[in-house]
Chain A
Amino acid sequence: MSLIIDSVAKRFARFPALNGVSLNAPQGAFVALVGPSGSGKTTLLRILGGLEEADSGSVRFADLNWLSMPARERKAGFVFQQYALFKHMTVADNIAFGLRVRPRRERPSRGEIRDRVQELLRLVQLEEFGGRYPSQLSGGQRQRVALARALAIEPRMLLLDEPFGALDAKVRKELRVWLRHIHDKAGVTSIFVTHDQEEAFAVADLVAVMNAGRIEQYGAPADVRRDPKTKFVAEFLSA
Chain B
Amino acid sequence: MSAFGLALTPMKLRQRRVLPGFGLSLGFTVFYLTVIVLIPLMALVIRPFALGFGGFWTEISTPRVLASLRLSFGMAALAAVIDSFFGLIIAWVLVRYRFAGKGLLDALIDLPFALPTAVAGIALSTLYAPNGWIGAILIAHGIRIAYTPWGVLVAMTFIGLPFTVRTLQPVMSEQSQDVEEVAATLGATRLQTIFRVVVPMLLPTLLTGTAMAFARGAGEYGSIIFLAGNLPMVSEIAPLLIITKLEEYDYAGAAAIGVVMLAAAFVMLLALNALQAWAARRR
Contact = CB atoms under 8 A, between A and B. Distances in A.
Interface of A: 49-51, 70-78, 80, 82, 84-89, 97-98, 101-102, 133, 135, 146, 149-150, 152-153, 159
B283 A74 contact: no
Nearest to A149: B186
Contacts of B283: 87, 135
Interface of B: 176, 178-179, 181-189, 192, 196-197, 200-201, 203, 281-283
Contact of B186 (A70, A98, A133, A159): A98
B213 to A, nearest CB: 22
Contact of B183 (A49, A73, A77, A97): A97
B182 A80 contact: yes
Contacts of A80: 178, 181-182
7 contacts: A51-B181, A51-B185, A84-B178, A84-B179, A89-B200, A98-B188, A146-B182
A78 B182 contact: yes
Contact of A98 (B181, B187, B201): B187
Contacts of B282: 87-88, 133, 135
B184 A71 contact: yes
A225 B60 CA distance: 85
A89 B196 CA distance: 10
B269 to A, nearest CB: 24
A82 B176 contact: yes
Nearest to B189: A72
A97 B186 contact: yes
Q: Interface residues of B: mostly helix, strand, loop or mixed?
A: helix
A88 B200 contact: yes
B195 to A, nearest CB: 10
A2 B199 CA distance: 39
Given A71-B181, A86-B197, A88-B282, A101 B186 contact: yes
A84 to B, nearest CB: 4
B184 to A, nearest CB: 4
A154 to B, nearest CB: 11
B219 to A, nearest CB: 31
A78 B200 contact: no
B178 A101 contact: no
Given A72-B189, A98-B187, 11 more contacts: A51-B181, A70-B184, A71-B185, A78-B185, A85-B179, A86-B197, A86-B201, A88-B201, A88-B282, A101-B188, A150-B185
A28 B186 CA distance: 20
A84 B180 CA distance: 9
A51 B282 CA distance: 26
Given A82-B176, A97-B196, A101-B196, A49 B185 contact: yes
Given A80-B178, A84-B179, A87-B283, A51 B188 contact: no
A141 to B, nearest CB: 16
A101 B203 contact: no
Nearest to A82: B178
A206 B179 CA distance: 29
A51 B184 contact: yes
Contacts of B184: 50-51, 70-72
Contact of B185 (A50, A87, A89): A50
B189 A101 contact: yes
Contacts of A78: 181-182, 185
